[in-house]
Amino acid sequence: MKFYRRWQPVQAMTFDLDDTLYDNRTVILRAEQLLLDWLQARCPEMSAFDWAEWQAMRLQVIERDVSLVGFVTDIRRAQITLAAGRCGMDAINAKQFADEAVAFFLHERSNFSVPQDAFDTLSALAEDYPLIAITNGNVDSERLGLSPYFQQVFAAGPDGAAKPDGALFIKAQQALGLPVSQILHVGDHLKSDVRGAKLAGFKACWFNDTKKPLTKQRHASILPDVEISHIGQLLSLTRDS
């Protein structure tokens, strides 16, 4: 654990989910490969699209509708709809195809187990702190067994713009009913989580499992209050510490 600012105890915590409580990288890679197999099995014409073409279609749907930025599920749905249209489907069938594809992806995207140490840490913290999750992702926290530890789960899209925008932080602060200075946000991303939290007035805990120091991180722009390398280190940050 490393402190960058003089520590003052907090009264509540908010948590990022992806890559903070579990390794989301491997989960997404697996789910995306399964989705690609699903798409090609149901529409063989999609085998002609390589990675670069899929990325170009993703950029195209965002350029068409910049309001999609930060809404990962909507971007994926629009991307697949565009691909289906290029494969000859009419608008109605392309939309239905994309809806089915996204439903398949969301199922596989949450088809994994959260490490036990994350559950153990959340269980211990929940005895002393109200906890809220705020995520830019689309994981099913209920299915993963995470929801019982959080008073609420706020997600980008349904609940507001994606971090580092302040919308989700504001909702969390309002739900907790505490001054922002009394809330610690825990997350892995230096822009979405640390910068977002500090601009919202929260304290920020950077979860760093990269083995790279802050000075070598591409998105470093605002100092966190504290850095941890293992989620269990949060247990030493008590109200009286």
Local structure of residue 87 (DSSP, 8 states):
T
Residue where a domain terminates, one of 78, 109, 140? 109
**Count of domains observed in the chain:** 2
Confirm whether 67 is domain-assigned.
yes
Could you tell me if residue 214 is inside a domain?
yes
Interatomic CA distance for residues 21 and 97, integer angstroms: 32
**CA 152 to each of CA 23, 67, 159, 206, 225: distance values in angstroms, whole numbers, following the listed order:** 22, 25, 11, 21, 24
* One domain, residues 211 and 93: no
- Tokens matching residue 226: 């504290």
Q: Are residues 162 and 224 in the same domain?
A: yes
Active site positions, annotated? 16
Range of the domain at 101: 26-109
pLDDT for the residue 68: 86
Is residue 120 located within the same domain as residue 223? yes
Residue 145 falls inside a structural domain:
yes
DSSP E strand boundaries for 136-212: 152-155, 183-187, 203-207
Q: Do both 160 and 105 map to the same domain? A: no
* CA 72 to centroid of chain Cα atoms: 10
| 79 and 163 housed in the same domain | no
**36 and 90: one domain?**
yes
Together in a domain, 145 and 101: no
Kindly tell me if the per-residue pLDDT of 239 is higher than 60.
no
- Report the alpha-carbon distance of residue 195 to residue 191 in Å, rounded: 5
DSSP 110-132: T-S---HHHHHHHHHHHTTS-EE
Verify that 15 and 86 share a domain, yes or no: no
- Tell me the backbone φ, ψ of residue 22, rounded to 5 degrees: -160, 160
CA angle 145, 175, 75 (to 5 degrees): 60
pLDDT tens for each residue of 152-176: 999 998 899 999 999 999 999 999 9
Q: Hey, what are 144's tokens?
A: 């993963």
The average pLDDT across 105-114 equals 96
CA 116, CA 80: separation in Å to the nearest integer?
35
The CATH number covering residue 150 comes to: 3.40.50.1000
Q: Are residues 146 and 226 in the same domain?
A: yes
pLDDT of residue 85: 97
Is residue 129 located within the same domain as residue 230? yes
Q: Side chain identity at 238, as an amino acid letter?
A: T
Q: Residue 185: helix, strand or coil by DSSP?
A: strand
The answer on 232 and 127 residing in a single domain is: yes
Mean pLDDT of the chain: 94
- The residue with tokens 């969390």 is 172
Judge whether 171 lies within some domain.
yes
Residue 241 lies in a domain: no
Task: Examine residue 152 and state whether it is found in any structural domain, yes or no.
Answer: yes
pLDDT at 97 over 60: yes
For the stretch 33-75, pLDDT in tens is 999 999 999 999 999 999 999 999 999 999 999 988 878 899 9
Query: Is residue 91 situated within a structural domain?
Result: yes
Interatomic CA distance for residues 105 and 101, integer angstroms: 6
Q: Indicate if 121 and 230 belong to the same structural domain.
A: yes
